[in-house]
Amino acid sequence: MTSAAPRPRMTRQRREILDALDLGEFRSAQAWHERLRSEGSTTGLATVYRALQSLAETGEVDAVVAESGETLYRRCEAGEEHHHHLRCRVCGKAVEIDVPDFEAYAAAIGREHGYGDIRHTIELTGVCPECAAAGDA
């Protein structure tokens, strides 16, 4: 039923974005754009937004909504399953964590209340050792 997903064209811009993603932590679309520009890329901001959104939909990158409302993106381990992060509020450095049984637990709670199509969000944030030492608290 879902129209055959037409795989995106491999343009120079998309390639650059994928590359940049490889070495980074959670950053906003604008931050990724700035980084690209600082590396000499001429890719436009709107293009970065579009690419990140598309990548997030296919699960190739993780997206989290910060308290400020900005959406932050990060490249995940290749072909990785659903998972969660412990992220530094200061520098964005993230660690993937394991939340055993939570998936099943969530579904059970939903059933218990008659809710269907359950989805969940678990975000852990803190201050990493480096940032704590630097006192950027």
Q: Which stretch binds DNA (CB under 7 A): 41-49, 75-83, 98-106, 112-120?
A: 41-49
In the shown chain, the binding pattern of residues 69 to 88 toward Zn ion, with x for contact by CB under 5 A and - for none, equals: -------x-----------x
Q: Which does 115 bind (CB under 5 to 8 A by kind): DNA, Zn ion, a second copy, none?
A: a second copy
Half-sphere exposure of 15 (CA within 13 A, CB side): 4
Cα-based torsion angle of the residue sequence 51, 52, 56, 61 in order, rounded to the nearest 10 degrees? 110
Give me the phi and psi of 103, to 5 degrees please. -55, -50
Q: Which of 61, 55, 53, 30 is nearest to 43 (CA)?
A: 30
Does 45 participate in binding Zn ion (rule CB under 5 A)?
no
**Which residues bind to DNA, rule: CB under 7 A?**
6, 8-14, 28-30, 42-47, 49-51, 53, 69-71
